[in-house]
Amino acid sequence: MAVKTIISRPIYGTLSPQLGKHHLFIADAEGALAITDMTGKAPPGFFDGAEIVFIPGPEGKYIAALEALKPMQLHIAPSFASLLPRLKQTLTNAHMGLRLYLAGTEGLIGQAMQVALEAGIDHTSIATEHRGSLARRMQCVHCKGITENVTTQPATCSHCGLLLLVRDHYSRRLAAFQGVCINAEDRSEIPPIEEAFP
Partner 1 sequence: MSTGTTKLDVVVSDVVPVNDLVTRFHFRRRDGELLPTFSGGAHVVVEMRDGDRTRLNPYSLMGSPLDTREYTISVRRDDAGRGGSLFMHRQVKPGLEMVISYPVNLFSLDLRAKKHLMLAGGIGITPFMAQTSQLAGAGGNFELHYTCRTASLGTYADVLQQRYGNRVRLYHDDREERIDLDRLLSSQPLGTHLYVCGPAGMINWVRDRAASLGWPPETVHFEHFAAPQPGAPFDVTLAVSGKTIRVGEQQSLLEAIEAAGVDPPYLCRGGVCGQCETNVISSDGKFIHNDHWLSEEDHRSGCKIMPCVSRFEGKSLVLER
Contact positions vs partner 1 (CB under 8 A):
18-22, 91-92, 94-99, 119-122, 124-125
- CB-nearer residue toward partner 1: 122 or 195: 122
In the complex, minimum distance from the CB of residue 49 to partner 1, in angstroms, rounded to a whole number = 11
CA angle (43, 15, 153) in 5-degree steps = 165
- Which residues neighbour 96 within 8 Å (Cβ) at sequence distance 6 or greater? none
CB-based contact 153:166 (threshold 8 Å) = yes
In the complex, minimum distance from the CB of residue 40 to partner 1, in angstroms, rounded to a whole number = 21
Strand partners, 127: 101
In the complex, minimum distance from the CB of residue 93 to partner 1, in angstroms, rounded to a whole number = 8
- CB-nearer residue toward partner 1: 18 or 39: 18
In the complex, minimum distance from the CB of residue 182 to partner 1, in angstroms, rounded to a whole number = 36
- CB-nearer residue toward partner 1: 35 or 121: 121
- CB-nearer residue toward partner 1: 94 or 134: 94
Residue by residue, DSSP assigns 16-81 as -PPS-SEEEEEEETTHHHHHHHTGGGSPTTGGGGEEEEEE--TT--SHHHHHTT--SEEEE-SSHH
